[in-house]
Chains A and B, each alone.
Chain A
Amino acid sequence: MSEIILIENLSKYFGKGSTQVKALDDVTLSISEGMIYGLLGPNGAGKTTLIKVLLGIVFPTKGTAKIFNQDVSNYEVRKKIGYLPENHKFPNYLTGEEVIVYFSKLSGFEINKNSPKISEVLKMVNMEKWRKTK
């Protein structure tokens, strides 16, 4: 099986000097296609930081991280990734259907407000009544 996620000697430090925090220190990890991988650890262990590095939200201090054999700095790779961040919020100036259209288009999907796919996904999560609500 091919490796979907490949992390080698990855470190991420926040701050400098005596107040420096080593969120990730020399992490090496590979996850193969088809695997379901659970990332567990105590508060402050670096789970979120690792995910953020994989998504390019934060930059690593050293080491490499690849997804689908492409470096995570290549934003195109995120087209194949679904991620629900913690404390996630939608823009409050968009209606339910506008949020779906907006983020779908950013992900490269051709979709508009009249697309039946919108009803389909809203129905799936029982949120049809919020379709026109900001």
Chain B
Amino acid sequence: MKNIFLLFKKDLIRFSNDKAAVMLTFLIPAVLIVIFGSIFGGGSGSRGKIPIIVVNDSGVEIADFLVSEIDSSSSLRSVKTFTDENGIVTNISEEKAKELVQNGSYPAALVLPQNFFSDSSTSLNFKYYYDPRNEIESQLIQGTIQKTVFTKIPKILPLLMQKQAESFLGSSEADTFKTDIADLLSSKFGMDKDEIIKSMTTLDMTQLTQKDESDSSTSENFDIMNQLIKFDSQQLVGAEVKNPGVTRMVGGWAIMFLLFTLTGTASSIFEEKQEGTLKRMFCMPISRSQFLFAKYLFAIVLGMIQLLVLFLFAYFLYDVDIFSNIFNLVFIAFVSASAAIAFGMVITAFAKSLAQANAISTLFILIMSALGGSWFPVTLFPDWMQIIAKFTLTYWSVEAFLQVLWRNTDFVSLLFPYVTILLGIAIAANYLALYLFKKRQVI
């Protein structure tokens, strides 16, 4: 037993002295739990509001009420105005809303048109323009709008059902039906016949917006609800994308694996040191800058090949269209690979050993992937997390790949901000790596 205890103690000391192992064991899971918790509502922060353009052209009271309810939604942030390049703030029109969704400024626009609702309406008519580049986000928006209607103005639904019945039966038949019902209720329950008929025919906002205690949004009611609340949906972007699911996620996974591969390539300097081949190399007439440049070149070529294989898999197996914008795809792959290897070089220059480099890179890659949108749409994050996301290279790479594959963006539009920021990260990280290499005499 004593020997077992001594051997146990040995393993404990060995583990606690291995900072890399401790970091991988405790720090990474802790950080990921915080990120997941914040996204799915169990953490310290609440989920960020999804921005949506709201255009109210209807001019009816019920529409104003509904818009005010959307304004106070905990899931959506309604946007009604637009600031142009001259700083002039204008109300967003339906056409402008379509343009802003099309260019990726907002994921969706809800229009309450002139025919939204009138005394003769048999349904509430919405126009819904959307860019489903993030499926979860898109479903959340539509679900929230429907829920708002069902829960905030539940009394409108029976009224709309009556109107539909009227249009089906004809006006005189419907009037006879109402009178018969009123007679029946009046004779059996002593209710005022005129009041009953009035309540079935007139629109009273106070009654309409009175909250119904029953749950109107249960699944059995859903089909009826869809008849009464009509969404004229129009997908403005990505409608021609053959496999939206894979097209959305392929860029995120691409940059994550690229980071793992190229960080490994950079930290192979430690392996060469351990093997003894690095010292042999530096006895030769080669400069350190030549050595590093060759490393960069190899990493970029390797990264490009890896991405090519990954995208070809996506093309052959899932029909992801990689060829209609192939030049821009290759260009973004190159820029992403440049930023990824620069990140790997910083880690290598900062670390003291291969184990440390592996632990630090795993920590940062997983955090950057979670924060940067490789796993979930960034718009689902709390606001503070969305700000942090923009400081990760994964965010800009994921966005750039989405621009190419989902939006078919042209070369000039990619240059700013995506390419500029990714190349900026690459240059800044390279400078930092070279400074650390020199200062710490890593090589």
Which of B124-132, B158-166, B252-260, B284-292 sits within the interface? B284-292
| With A58-B441, A59-B441: A89-B284 Cβ-Cβ less than 8 Å | no
Residues of chain B contacted by A75 (CB below 8 angstroms): 285-287
A56 and B281 CA atoms in complex are apart in Å by: 11
Q: List 9 A-B contacts (CB under 8 A).
A: A59-B441, A75-B286, A75-B287, A83-B283, A85-B276, A85-B280, A85-B283, A88-B279, A106-B285
Residues on B with beta carbons closer than 8 Å to the beta carbon of A78? 283-285
A36 to B353, CA, bound (A): 38
Q: Is B282 an interface residue (CB 8 A)?
A: yes
Any B CB within 8 A of the CB of A107: yes
Once bound together, how far apart are the Cα atoms of A77 and B285, in whole Å?
Answer: 7
- B233 interface residue, CB < 8 Å from A? no
Interface residue? B275 (CB, 8 A):
yes
A85, A91, A92: the one contacting B279 at CB < 8 Å is: A85
CA distance A87 to B283 in the complex (A): 14
Tell yes or no: A57 within 8 A of B by CB: yes
B281 to chain A: which residues have CB within 8 Å? 106
Query: Are A55 and B275 interface neighbours, CB within 8 A?
Result: no
With A58-B441, A59-B441, A91-B275 as contacts: A108 and B285 at CB distance below 8 Å: yes
A75-B285, A87-B276, A106-B285 are known; give 8 further A-B pairs, CB within 8 A: A55-B283, A57-B283, A75-B287, A78-B283, A83-B283, A85-B280, A90-B280, A91-B275
A56–B280 touching, CB < 8 Å? no
A57 contacts across to B, CB distance below 8 A: 279, 282-283
Contact A90 B277 (CB under 8 A): yes
Please tell me if A130 contacts chain B, counting CB pairs below 8 Å. no
B164 shortest CB reach to chain A, Å: 76
Where the two chains meet, the residues of A that have a C-beta atom closer than 8 Å to any C-beta of B are 55-59, 75-79, 81, 83, 85, 87-92, 103, 106-108
Query: Given A88-B276, A89-B275, do A56 and B284 touch, yes or no (CB 8 Å)?
Result: no
Given known contacts A55-B282, A56-B282, A59-B441, A92 and B275 CB-to-CB distance under 8 angstroms? yes
Contact B275 A106 (CB under 8 A): no
B 272-307 contacts with A by CB, 8 A:
275-277, 279-287
Report B's interface with A, CB cutoff 8 A: 275-277, 279-287, 441
Q: Collect the chain B residues with CB atoms within 8 Å of residue A56's CB.
A: 282
In Å, the complex CA distance between A83 and B382 comes to 59
Indicate the member of B275, B277, B282, B285 with the most A CB atoms within 10 Å.
B285
Contacts of A106 in B (CB 8 A): 281, 284-286
**Which of A58, A76, A88 is in CB contact (< 8 Å) with B285?**
A76
Write the chain B residue with the least CB distance to A52.
Answer: B279
> Is chain A's interface secondary structure helix, strand, loop, or mixed overall?
loop
* Distance in Å: Cβ of A119 to nearest Cβ of chain B: 23
Residues of A within 8 A of B283 (CB): 55, 57, 78, 81, 83, 85
List the 7 closest pairs (A to B, CB-CB), nearest first. A89-B276, A78-B285, A106-B284, A79-B285, A75-B287, A83-B283, A57-B282
In the bound complex, residues from chain B placing their C-beta under 8 Å from that of A88 are: 276, 279-280
B277 and A89 contact, CB distance less than 8 A? yes
**Could you tell me the distance in whole angstroms from the C-beta of B441 to the nearest C-beta in chain A?**
6
> Nearest CB to that of A14 among chain B residues?
B441
Are B276 and A107 in contact, CB atoms less than 8 angstroms apart? no
Which residues of chain A come closer than 8 Å to B286, judged between CB atoms? 75, 106
Which chain A residue lies CB-closest to B277? A91
Task: List the B residue with the shortest CB-CB distance to A78.
Answer: B285
Distance between A14 CB and nearest chain B CB, rounded to angstroms: 9
Chain B nearest CB, measured from A82 CB (Å) = 9
Instruction: Kindly list chain B residues whose C-beta atoms are within 8 Å of the C-beta of A89.
Output: 275-277, 280
- Which residues on the B side are within 8 Å of A55 (C-beta)? 282-283
| Nearest CB in chain B to that of A106: its residue | B284
Residues of A within 8 A of B280 (CB): 85, 88-90, 103
Look across to chain A and name the residue whose beta carbon is closest to the beta carbon of B287.
A75
| Separation of A77 and B286 alpha carbons in the complex (Å) | 10
> Which partner residue on chain A sits nearest B276 by CB separation?
A89
- List B contacts of A90 (CB < 8 A): 277, 280
Chain B neighbourhood of A108, CB < 8 A: 285
- Looking at B280, B282, B286, B287, the one whose CB has the most chain A CB atoms below 10 A away is B280
Contact A107 B285 (CB under 8 A): yes
B434 to chain A, nearest CB (A): 14
Closest to B272 in A: A91
Shortest Cβ gap from B352 to chain A (Å): 13
> A107, B284: Cβ atoms under 8 Å?
yes
**A79 to B284 alpha-carbon distance, docked (Å):** 7
Cα A81 to Cα B280 in complex, Å, equals 13
Task: Give the distance to chain A from B242, nearest Cβ to Cβ, in Å.
Answer: 42
Q: Considering the complex, give the chain A residue whose CB is closest to the CB of B274.
A: A89
Q: How far is the CB of B321 from chain A (nearest CB, A)?
A: 39
Question: Which A-chain residue is minimally distant from B275 (CB atoms)?
Answer: A89
Residues of B within 8 A of A79 (CB): 285
In the bound assembly, the distance between CA atoms of A107 and B286 in angstroms comes to 8
Distance from A21 Cβ to chain B, minimum over Cβ atoms (Å): 14
Name the residue of chain B whose CB is nearest to the CB of A92. Answer: B275
Q: A103 — which chain B residues lie within 8 A by C-beta? A: 280, 284
What distance in Å separates the Cβ of B110 from its nearest Cβ neighbour in chain A? 61
